[in-house]
Amino acid sequence: MLKIRNGRDFIGGAAMIVVSLLFIWFGRELDVGNSFQMGPGYFPVILSLLLIGIGALIMVQSLVVAVEDEPDAPANWQAYTLVILAPIFFGLALSRFGLAPTIFLMVAAVSFASKYAGWRHSIALALFMAISSVVLFTRLLSLPVSPFGPWIPFLGN
């Protein structure tokens, strides 16, 4: 009989697999296509399969490697809340603020969830991610995403 030596990793791996299966189930009506003609469901399926593989590896590791005897740290509810709210904010703000301000605000807010991130590093990371995202998604990939939205008309495209 298998013995779970690290319950937290086992639950985390199982959660990753369940979330991946939910993404595949919700996107089951999207055309996947193939590597040369990718459909709208191609990346969600590929990323979900990758997440399933990582989750399975974590579960296998939890059966082999025992958890160290450390006192349980208190739950960081601020981090949980910020990480859950960030994608919701991104979905709601992208069409209004545009890509650059949305990425900047989201990364800056989520970086404050870490106990080790200072405000200077958070702002620098947010600026880097905003500029990189604009260059990558709007210039290089030509995705139909505006760098600045209608709520920031003085910087609009």
Tell me the per-residue pLDDT of 45-103, one tens digit each, with 9 for 90 and over.
Answer: 999 999 999 999 999 999 887 777 777 777 788 888 988 899 999 999 999 999 999 99
C-alpha dist (Å) from residue 67 to 63, 109, 152: 10, 31, 49
pTM (whole model) above 0.95: no
| pLDDT for position 156 | 55
Tell me whether residue 25 is exposed, middle or buried, using C-beta atoms within 10 angstroms of its C-beta: 0 to 12, 13 to 18, 19 or more.
exposed
Q: Measure the CA–CA gap between 26 and 69, rounded to whole angstroms.
A: 40
List pLDDT tens digits, range 110-137.
988 888 888 899 999 999 999 999 999 9
Which amino acid is present at 85? L
Instruction: Write the CA distances from 79 to 35, 66, 93, 111, integer angstroms.
Output: 37, 26, 20, 9
